[in-house]
Amino acid sequence: MGQAPLAGVRIVAVEQFGAGPFGTLHLADLGADIIRLEDPSSGGDISRYVTPGQRGTDSLYFDSFNRGKRSVLLDLKNPAGQEVLHRLCGSAHAVYANLRGDVVKALGLTYDVLGRINPGIVCVSLSAYGRDGERSTEPGYDPLIQAEAGWAALTGDPDGPPIKSGLSLADYAGGIMAALALMVAIFDAQRTGRGRDVDVSLYDVALAFHNYRATWYLTAGVPGDRTPDSSHPSIVPFQFFATADGHVAIACAKEKFFRALVQRMDLPALATDPRFSSFDERHQNREALLASLREQFRQQPTAHWVDLLRGHVPVAPVRTMESALDRGELERRAMIAAYRHSALGEVTTVGLPIKMSGFTPAYRPGPTLHGDRDAILKEAGYAPAEIEALRGRGAFGHE
C-alpha cells in the first residue's frame, strides 16, 4: 500500500459541521493525523446529532466528514483546556479553526499566541467572512454564502427564482481552499522554520469562484444573466437538451465537436449554414441553432444519443444521484470508502478522489466523542494522574 503521503503531519482541528471538516477529511484520507477538539458545552460537534442514521453521539452525517480523525473534548474557555491546547500545538504542524472570525482570536488560535510556543506552527482560520473586519462576528452557512455571493442568482432558468446548488458547494469549496492554504503554509514553514496566520473566508472563496464571469463583468461590463437549460453564457451548444425520456448534456467547447455533433445527428444543413460557422456566429444566432437541435434531441431517448455521440462529442446523460452512485461504477473507479463503525454498523460512502501511485487510502470510521482523549494526551506527555487532574479542573467540561 505504501506510506501515506501525509504520514507524520499533525493538525489540531477546532472545526464544526461541514466546511472545515470537508477540508481536513481529505487530509486525513491522505494520512494526516487530525485531532478534533470538540466543545463539551454543546456535546461535541452538533453534526453528531443530525439525522438520518443517528445513534447517540454518532451519525452518518458526522462520519461523512470525519472518518479517520481523532476526538477529544476540550473546553478552550477554561485555563486547563488552554494548557492542553498549548501542549498539543507544541508538536503540531498546524491548528485549523473553523469558527467565527472573532472567536478564533478570542480563543487564542492565532500565530501571535501559538507561535510563542511553536514558531513553526501554521494557524489557519476558516470562517464565513474572515478573521478581521466588520463582519468577523457574523456566523455564516452555505445557503447564505451562495445567496449573497451571487451564485444563486446565476442558477436556474431566467424566468424562475434564484436557486442554490443541491450540494453545499460553498462549504466544500471553502474547506478545500483552506486545506490547500494549510498545506502551502506548512510547506513554507518546513523551509523557513517559521509559521504564520492564514485567513480564508467562505465568502471570499465564493467570490473567487466567479472567475471568468467576474473578469467579463469587471473588465467589460458583461452582466451575470441566467441562461436556460443550464447553458454556457457564450459557447453554443453547451447545455442540457430534453430527450424522449430525460435529458442529455452536450459540451461543444471546440469547433471540431460542433462539426461532429451535426454530422452524427444527420443535420448537414447546420454544418454549412453561415449563421453557425464559428463560436461568435453560433452565439449571435443561438436560438435558431438551438431550435433545430432541441427538435432533433426529442426524437430519441437519452441512451440513443449517448451511444451515438460518445467518443465523438463530449456528452453525458443527466442522471439522478442514485444512478451516479452505482456501486459497481464506484468500485471500478476506486471511489468506494467502506468500513465498520461500532455504533453505525457497516458504512459505505464515496472515497478520496485523489489517486497517487504507490498509495491506497485506508478508510477508518470517524471518532467516537472524546474517544481518543487518553491516547492523545499520553502522546503529548501527560501521565494518567495529570490527565485526572485536568479533568478535575474542567479541561474536558463537566464529565
Q: Which H or E element spans position 339?
A: strand 336-341
Query: What would the pLDDT profile of 209-222 be if each residue is shown by its tens digit?
Result: 999 999 999 999 99
All three cell numbers of 178, joined, read 483552506
Q: Is 82 exposed, middle or buried (0-12, 13-18, 19+ CB in 10 A)?
A: middle
The residue whose grid cell reads 461504477 is 329
CA dihedral 129, 134, 137, 139 (to 10 degrees): -40
pLDDT of residue 2: 76
Residue 17 near residue 46, CB atoms below 8 Å: yes
* Preceding peptide of 237 cis, ω within 30°: yes
Length of the chain: 399
Distance in angstroms (rounded) separating the CA atoms of residues 36 and 102: 20
All three cell numbers of 84, joined, read 492542553
DSSP state of 311: T
pTM: 0.96
Amino acid at 340: R
Distance in angstroms (rounded) separating the CA atoms of residues 290 and 296: 10
Report helix, strand or coil for 242.
strand
Query: What average pLDDT does the chain have?
Result: 97
Distance in angstroms (rounded) separating the CA atoms of residues 364 and 32: 13
C-beta neighbour count of 62 within 10 angstroms: 25
Report helix, strand or coil for 190.
helix
C-beta neighbour count of 18 within 10 angstroms: 22
**Beta strands at 247-251 and 238-242: parallel, antiparallel or unpaired:** antiparallel
pLDDT of residue 93: 98
DSSP state of 273: -
Distance in angstroms (rounded) separating the CA atoms of residues 14 and 97: 5
All three cell numbers of 312, joined, read 465523438
- Alpha helices, DSSP H, located in the chain: 19-29, 60-66, 79-90, 101-106, 111-114, 142-148, 169-192, 202-208, 211-220, 255-264, 268-272, 279-284, 286-297, 302-309, 321-324, 327-332, 373-379, 384-392
The residue whose grid cell reads 501554521 is 122
Question: Tens-of-pLDDT digits for all 399 residues of the chain?
Answer: 579 999 999 999 999 999 999 999 999 999 999 999 999 999 999 999 999 999 999 999 999 999 999 999 999 999 999 999 999 999 999 999 999 999 999 999 999 999 999 999 999 999 999 999 999 999 999 999 999 999 999 999 999 999 999 999 999 999 999 999 999 999 999 999 999 999 999 999 999 999 999 999 999 999 999 999 999 999 999 999 999 999 999 999 999 999 999 999 999 999 999 999 999 999 999 999 999 999 999 999 999 999 999 999 999 999 999 999 999 999 999 999 999 999 999 999 999 999 999 999 999 999 999 999 999 999 999 999 999 999 999 999 986
Closest CA to 390 of 88, 162, 145: 88
Angle between helices 255-264 and 302-309 (to 10 degrees): 120
Q: What are the structural domains, with CATH classification, of the chain?
A: 10-208+328-392 (3.40.50.10540), 228-318 (3.30.1540.10)
